[in-house]
Chains A and B, each alone.
Chain A
Amino acid sequence: ELKVEQNPLFLSMQEGKNYTIYCNYSTTSDRLYWYRQDPGKSLESLFVLLSNGAVKQEGRLMASLDTKARLSTLHITAAVHDLSATYFCAVVVYNTDKLIFGTGTRLQVFP
């Protein structure tokens, strides 16, 4: 069965701290996306990772992809309250149109 699992599911962290969210997937894929969702809102695209070893950075967030390990990470540097949201990874199953979402990580940043 195809699985896209994120770890942790919930993350409460203090402002200024660093942390990493992990996304493991069980299928062959060379395309992975990270999204952010605020409560009651839609999904906002953060990163598009299209090849093994891809690394993208935007502000305090950095995403990477290891297709051989079937693993992507989302690293948070010096967290701020505005980063509080739910983060999803999403995997395109190789040679299909199927876009499968991870379980989501709910991040809460407190002072």
Chain B
Amino acid sequence: DTAVSQTPKYLVTQMGNDKSIKCEQNLGHDTMYWYKQDSKKFLKIMFSYNNKELIINETVPNRFSPKSPDKAHLNLHINSLELGDSAVYFCASTHIGRGQTEAFFGQGTRLTVV
């Protein structure tokens, strides 16, 4: 079983469209993240949820809205897609607190906006 799974793996869409990326973890972790990796491979934290509660919200445009229906899922919805949104988006999960583990990453979603 894949520990952290994202769908879709590839997403090609036109400017102005709205799209969602889904993430699920089966590790029993309490914290999930979204990261954006640009063409230069820099990994930038976007959001973090702990037990369904938004903990970290970096300077990300309002067009990006995360949703966590339960602590095993963290989805990312993007409105009015722009060319600059093209990147690889990674979901990750970890367990904060006693026995904290490293973050485990999904396989990534390569988003291309045309």
A residues neighboring B (CB under 8 Å)? 31, 33, 35, 37, 41-43, 45, 48, 86, 88, 90, 92, 96-101, 103-104, 106
Report the tally of A-B residue pairs with Cβ distances under 8 A.
52
Interface of A is mostly: strand
Which of A33, A88, A96, A97 has the most chain B CB within a 10 Å cutoff? A97
Interface of B is mostly: strand
Minimum Cβ distance to chain B for residue A12 (Å): 16
* A99-B105 in contact given A42-B90, A43-B90 (Cβ < 8 Å): no
* A106-B41 in contact given A42-B90, A48-B101, A48-B102 (Cβ < 8 Å): yes
B residues neighboring A (CB under 8 Å)? 31, 33, 35, 41-45, 48, 50, 55-56, 90, 92, 94, 96, 100-108
Instruction: Determine if B42 and A99 form an interchain contact, defined as CB atoms under 8 angstroms apart.
Output: no
Instruction: Determine if A97 and B90 form an interchain contact, defined as CB atoms under 8 angstroms apart.
Output: no
Would you mind naming 14 contact pairs between A and B with Cβ atoms under 8 Å apart?
A31-B100, A42-B105, A42-B106, A43-B90, A43-B92, A48-B101, A92-B100, A97-B55, A97-B56, A98-B45, A99-B48, A103-B42, A104-B43, A106-B41
Pick the contact of A88 from B43, B55, B106 — CB < 8 Å? B43
In the bound complex, residues from chain A placing their C-beta under 8 Å from that of B55 are 96-97
Instruction: Determine if A90 and B106 form an interchain contact, defined as CB atoms under 8 angstroms apart.
Output: no
In the bound complex, residues from chain A placing their C-beta under 8 Å from that of B41 are 37, 86, 104, 106
Instruction: Determine if A99 and B103 form an interchain contact, defined as CB atoms under 8 angstroms apart.
Output: yes
Minimum Cβ distance to chain B for residue A95 (Å): 11
In the bound complex, residues from chain B placing their C-beta under 8 Å from that of A33 are 102-103
Instruction: Determine if B94 and A99 form an interchain contact, defined as CB atoms under 8 angstroms apart.
Output: yes
C-alpha spacing A33/B102, complex, angstroms: 7
